[in-house]
A and B are shown apart, each in its own frame.
Chain A
Amino acid sequence: AQKVTQAQTEISVVEKEDVTLDCVYETRDTTYYLFWYKQPPSGELVFLIRRNSFDEQNEISGRYSWNFQKSTSSFNFTITASQVVDSAVYFCALSEASTGNQFYFGTGTSLTVIP
């Protein structure tokens, strides 16, 4: 079974629109971490955020915000006032205490911001 599901394969928005990328995870562990990575067209994987399972507080970093809800096993990522430079593939990932450092990546959401 897929531990991390990113149901949105591709999203296109017009510049300055807000966009939310969905991430649903599955785990039986009580201790786990969730991550978001960005992969721009240049190909590198850039770390964006890490949240642990005991901290449900939402996080905001500039135009980026993350909504962690254990009740729905979701860790959604919102970009406010999107810009062309936000165009990339975004990956959500899960790491469980029981499996140590192993990461489980979602299949990614390709975001295109149209100028």
Chain B
Amino acid sequence: DAGVIQSPRHEVTEMGQEVTLRCKPISGHNSLFWYRQTMMRGLELLIYFNNNVPIDDSGMPEDRFSAKMPNASFSTLKIQPSEPRDSAVYFCATTPGLPIETQYFGPGTRLLVL
């Protein structure tokens, strides 16, 4: 299995631009998590899905952030408009979907907003 796939791996954009991060979960994994990692705040859970349905989005910073999971093999995290403080590494992680399963992380997307 290829593991969790994230794209792009690096993104540099200017303030105000729309940014879309993509994640392809491990095949058969039904739960998907989006995290943000910064030096100041560490790893923060933004949102997670179970069977394509958002379960908890309380970690989403504000309305500029949105996430979708249109099918079992694809999810997006969108920031519109982006701001410099959104600069971080964004990780996607997936689990088979059973309660309390190991989360397997993608390689992350390093986002820099100028």
- A residues with CB within 8 A of B: 31-33, 35, 37, 43-47, 50, 52, 91, 95-97, 100-103, 105, 107-108
Provide the bound-state CA to CA distance between A50 and B89, in Å: 24
For the complex, give the distance between the alpha carbons of A31 and B108 in Å.
30
Given A101-B48, A102-B48, verify A47-B104 contact (CB < 8 Å): yes
Contacts of B75 in A (CB 8 A): none
| Cα of A56 to Cα of B103 in the assembled complex, Å | 21
Q: Look across to chain A and name the residue whose beta carbon is closest to the beta carbon of B89.
A: A43
Q: Is the CB of B107 within 8 A of A43?
A: yes
Establish whether residues B48 and A47, one from each chain, have CB atoms under 8 Å apart when the complex forms.
no
A37 to B103, CA, bound (A): 10
Q: A95-B100, A102-B56 are in contact. Are A44 and B43 (CB under 8 A)?
A: no
Given the interface contacts A45-B91, A107-B42, does A101 sit within 8 Å of B108 by beta carbon?
no
Residues of B within 8 A of A46 (CB): 105
Specify which chain A residues have a CB less than 8 angstroms from the CB of B93 in the assembled complex: 45
- Chain B residues with a Cβ under 8 A of chain A: 31, 33, 42-43, 45, 48, 50, 55-56, 89, 91, 93, 95, 97, 99-108, 110
Chosen A-B contacts, 6 in total, with CB atoms closer than 8 Å, are A31-B100, A47-B102, A96-B100, A97-B99, A101-B95, A101-B103
- CB distance A35 to B99 under 8 Å? no
- Does the CB pair B55–A100 fall under 8 Å? yes
CA distance in complex: A91, B102 (Å) = 14
Instruction: Name the distance in Å between B81's Cβ and chain A's nearest Cβ.
Output: 26
Partner of B99, one of A45, A50, A91, A101: A101
B contact residues around A100 at 8 Å (CB): 50, 55, 99-100
Q: How distant is the Cα of A105 from the Cα of B45 in the complex, in angstroms?
A: 9
A50 CA to B102 CA, complexed, in Å: 7
Closest to A94 in B: B100
B106: chain A residues within 8 A (beta carbon):
44
Whether B31 lies near A101 (C-beta < 8 A) is yes
Q: Looking at the complex, which one of B42, B55, B100, B101 makes contact with A108 (CB distance below 8 Å)?
A: B42
